[in-house]
């Protein structure tokens, strides 16, 4: 029960944090209905995919197992939907660029998935599509994905080499968790900065 409550509470807090700033901005700028709906759908799909991908390994070591994966995926989908709603509603062009990135990722991932067919036993077209869907989720937020995965991989490898018993599954867990977190963080940053036309300064200069 504690896990469910914490996931729900986290989702609610994040939803509030992400939605309220753009909601205030709607008094000053036009709200674009259909881009916001599309953004919410894209954000939800992207969040669900990376939430599932990033939680499979850590959840595998819990009693809840697949149920744990589901709750993380739902929580990440809520965060993605809220962020997508804000980005699409306030800044449709930016949402369009993220959708194009997702499409490129989907195509690239599917090509990679198909290329793997001769090398993996019982690899089916739906598996190639699964790679494509993961690619699409990453493609919506490639910078966050790259930073998150890179940071996670470095930390995971360092801990693997220094902490006995951590092992390669632990390193993979941290790397994939970093990727998922990176994608979600980029969605949230884009939502939070959606009403601004200038790049956001967060201690250092970040430009998307």
Tokens 């894209």 belong to which residue?
A: 42
Where does this chain touch other proteins (CB under 8 A) — which range of 9-17, 28-36, 127-135, 175-183? 127-135
Contact pick of 90, 133, 179, 185 for other proteins (by CB under 8 A): 133
Minimum CB distance to other proteins, residue 165 (Å): 8
Span 143-202, contacts to other proteins by CB under 8 A: 167-169
The answer to whether residue 122 forms part of the interface with other proteins (CB under 8 A) is: yes
CA angle in degrees (0–180, nearest 5) for 150-153-154? 85
Name the nearest CA neighbour of 116 among 58, 124, 164.
Answer: 124
> In terms of CB distance, is 53 or 87 closer to other proteins?
53
Site for other proteins in 19-48 (CB under 8 A): 41-42, 44-45, 48
Contact map string, positions 67 to 96, toward other proteins, x by CB under 8 A: xxxxx-xx--x-------------------
Q: Which stretch binds other proteins (CB under 8 A): 12-20, 28-36, 117-125, 148-156?
A: 117-125
Any contact of residue 6 with other proteins (CB under 8 A)?
A: no
User: What's the gap between Cα 170 and its chain centre?
Assistant: 20
Q: With contact defined as beta carbons under 8 Å apart, do 194 and 91 qualify?
A: yes
Dist CA 125 CA 131 (whole Å): 10
129 belongs to the binding site for other proteins (CB under 8 A) = yes
Residues making contact with other proteins (CB under 8 A): 41-42, 44-45, 48-49, 51-53, 55-56, 59-71, 73-74, 77, 121-124, 126-127, 129-131, 133-134, 167-169
């Amino acid at each position: 029960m504690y896990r469910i409550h914490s996931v729900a509470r986290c989702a609610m807090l994040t939803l509030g944090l992400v939605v309220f700033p753009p909601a205030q901005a709607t008094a000053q700028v036009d709200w674009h209905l259909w881009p916001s709906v599309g953004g919410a759908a894209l954000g939800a799909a992207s969040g669900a995919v990376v939430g599932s991908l990033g939680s499979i390994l850590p959840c595998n070591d819990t009693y809840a197992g697949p149920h744990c994966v589901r709750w993380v995926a739902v929580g990440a989908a809520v965060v993605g939907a809220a962020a997508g709603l804000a980005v699409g509603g306030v800044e449709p062009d930016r949402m369009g660029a993220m959708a194009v990135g997702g499409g490129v990722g989907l195509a690239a991932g599917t090509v990679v998935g198909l290329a793997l067919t001769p090398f993996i036993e019982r690899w089916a077209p739906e598996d190639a599509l699964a790679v494509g869907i993961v690619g699409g989720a990453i493609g919506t937020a490639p910078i966050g994905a790259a930073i998150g995965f890179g940071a996670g991989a470095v930390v995971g490898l360092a801990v693997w080499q220094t902490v006995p018993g951590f092992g390669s599954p632990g390193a993979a867990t941290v790397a994939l968790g970093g990727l998922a977190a990176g994608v979600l963080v980029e969605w949230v940053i884009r939502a939070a900065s959606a009403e601004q036309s200038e790049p956001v300064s967060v201690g250092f200069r970040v430009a998307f």
